[in-house]
Amino acid sequence: MSWSGGKQLGMGPALLFCPGDRPDRFRKAADRADAVILDLEDAVAADAKPAARQAIIAADLDPARTIVRVQAASADGFDDDLAAVAASPFRAVMLAKAESTADVDRVVVAVPGARVVVLCETARGVLAAEALAAHDAVVGMMWGAEDLVASLGGTSSRDASGAYREVAAHARSRMLLAAGAFGVTAIDAIRTDIADLEGAHAEAADAAASGFRAKAAIHPNHVEPYRRAFSPTDDELDVARRILAAASLNPGVFSFEGRMVDEPILRHARSVVERHATATNGSTR
For the stretch 147-196, pLDDT in tens is: 999 999 999 999 999 999 999 999 999 999 999 999 999 999 999 999 99
Boundary of a domain, candidates 185, 214, 230: 230
My answer on whether 158 and 204 are in the same domain is: yes
Q: Which domain holds residue 259?
A: 235-283
C-alpha pair distances (Å), 57 with each of 53, 69, 97, 155, 243: 6, 13, 23, 36, 48
Question: CA 109 to CA 122: how far, in whole Å?
Answer: 24
C-alpha pair distances (Å), 277 with each of 3, 11, 13: 10, 12, 11
My answer on whether 169 and 272 are in the same domain is: no
My answer on whether 17 and 155 are in the same domain is: yes
Question: CA 70 to CA 51: how far, in whole Å?
Answer: 14
Q: Check residue 217 and report its DSSP letter.
A: E
Nearest to 183 by CA among 134, 125, 219: 134
My answer on whether 53 and 19 are in the same domain is: yes
pLDDT tens for residues 232-283? 777 888 888 989 999 988 888 999 998 999 888 998 888 888 878 776 665 4
Nearest to 110 by CA among 64, 172, 68: 68
My answer on whether 56 and 154 are in the same domain is: yes
My answer on whether 56 and 115 are in the same domain is: yes
CB atoms within 10 A of CB 272: 22
Q: Are 60 and 70 in contact (CB under 8 A)?
A: no
My answer on whether 92 and 225 are in the same domain is: yes
My answer on whether 269 and 196 are in the same domain is: no
Provide the number of structural domains found in the chain.
2
Q: Are 191 and 212 in contact (CB under 8 A)?
A: no
My answer on whether 182 and 89 are in the same domain is: yes
pLDDT tens for residues 90-130? 999 999 999 999 999 999 999 999 999 999 999 999 999 99
My answer on whether 194 and 246 are in the same domain is: no
For position 108, which CATH number holds? Answer: 3.20.20.60
Largest CA distance in the chain: 64
Indicate the helix (H) or strand (E) that contains 8. strand 8-9
Question: CA 155 to CA 163: how far, in whole Å?
Answer: 14
Q: Is 116 helix (H, G, I), strand (E, B) or coil?
A: strand
My answer on whether 226 and 252 are in the same domain is: no
Mention every residue, 6+ apart, whose C-beta is less than 8 A from residue 267: none
The crossing angle, in degrees rounded to 10, of helices 223-230 and 197-210 is 30
On the question of pLDDT at 142 being above 60, the answer is yes
My answer on whether 224 and 129 are in the same domain is: yes
